[in-house]
Structures are given as structure tokens and as C-alpha cells.
A and B are shown apart, each in its own frame.
Chain A
């Protein structure tokens, strides 16, 4: 099974950019990279996904390494509401998402 590795936790100051790294050295050529986040007391919610090229949406940017063995989720200006667990996930065969432990992001005011 394809797996991802993320730091257990990270801390950021409010209004500053945050770079959340993810390693996925066993990724296959057709695996999409998905990012979800889970706010306290809620189910996970979609953030962004990509295959090879960098991606931007209103929530975040996703930077994917050329060899696709790592990626970085970028929050351009962290707010207190961005404090959550962030999951980097490889889409597996059969439309399943297999979650790891994620990165706990703490945002300081």
C-alpha cells in the first residue's frame, strides 16, 4: 500500500504562511495526492488535490516535487481557524482514501 509520512505537529504564527510537508516515496505514477483537514469536533474536509503540477485554490496551494516523492501544502496566511489536523493521502485503487495520523497544526495569535 502507498503510504505517506508527515510530521506529528507544527506551529505557526497567525497571518504567516505555513508549509506542511508530506513524503510519499512509494507513490505510483497514477496516484493522486489529496489533502484533507479535520477541525476540532468535525469530520475531515477536502482541501486540495493534485497529480503532477502545482495546484491552487481558494483555501491553499499544493506544491508537488518533480519526482512526486514529496509534496507541500501551503497555507498563505494562517488564521486561528486553520488550526486542525492536516492529512496527506494517496488515493488507492477503488476510490478509497487511506488516512495516516496527519499533522496537528497549531496557530498562535
Chain B
């Protein structure tokens, strides 16, 4: 079975902390994505990557950075967490050919910044 695994289901951090959200996929996909989901706003794309060491900004990259050192792993970094980054974070992956072969999501990480 296809799998996208996010390291934590729930995470609580303090304002100003550096936060790492990890995502691993086992499908040898080239494309990986980070979204955040907030009530009433749907899913919004933060960053995406088409290959190792490549990254592109999505619609809301401010306050975030990403790292992709290995093909299977895509990390989202909050350099200095703030309360407005409290959200559900979803990682996804797809093959190089893109969504026509499906986009696969993890179960999400609910991050609370206090």
C-alpha cells in the first residue's frame, strides 16, 4: 500500500521555538508538497519540491522553510513558531507525471503553538 507518513499526529510547541515537521513517502515519488489546513480556508500550499534539493514557494511560504536532502523525505521548518501557525499540516507526494497518477496525502500533524 502507498504510504505518506508524517512523524507526529499532534505537536505542542511554544512561541519562538524552531519546529521541524517530517514527512516520508515510500513510493519513490519525485514531487512532494506541504499544505496547511484551517477551518473555512481549505488547504493552502506552503512549499513544494520536484526533486532532491529543489524547492518552490507555494501560496503562503512566509514564516516557513523546507528541506529535501533525500528523495523520500521532505521537512517543513518553522524557524520561530508563532501562534498564527497553529494549524493542521498535511504532507503529500505524487509521481513526476503529476496529479494524473494521483496525489497521496499523509494523515496530518495538528500543531498547536502556545
Contact = CB atoms under 8 A, between A and B. Distances in A.
Kindly state the interface size class of chain B when it binds its partner.
20 to 34
A95 B98 contact: yes
Interface stretch (A16-24, A65-73, A99-107): A99-107
Given A41-B107, A43-B92, A43-B106, A99 B99 contact: no
B43 interface: yes
A100 B100 CA distance: 19
A41 B88 CA distance: 10
Contacts of A34: 99
B90 interface: yes
Contacts of B98: 91, 95
Interface string A40-76: 0111111001000000000000000000000000000
Nearest to B96: A95
Interface of B: 4, 31, 33, 35, 40-45, 48, 50, 56, 58-59, 90, 92, 94, 97-100, 102-108
27 contacts: A36-B103, A41-B107, A42-B105, A43-B4, A43-B105, A43-B107, A43-B108, A44-B90, A44-B103, A45-B105, A46-B103, A46-B104, A87-B42, A91-B99, A91-B100, A94-B48, A95-B50, A95-B94, A95-B98, A95-B99, A96-B45, A97-B99, A99-B42, A99-B43, A101-B41, A101-B42, A102-B42
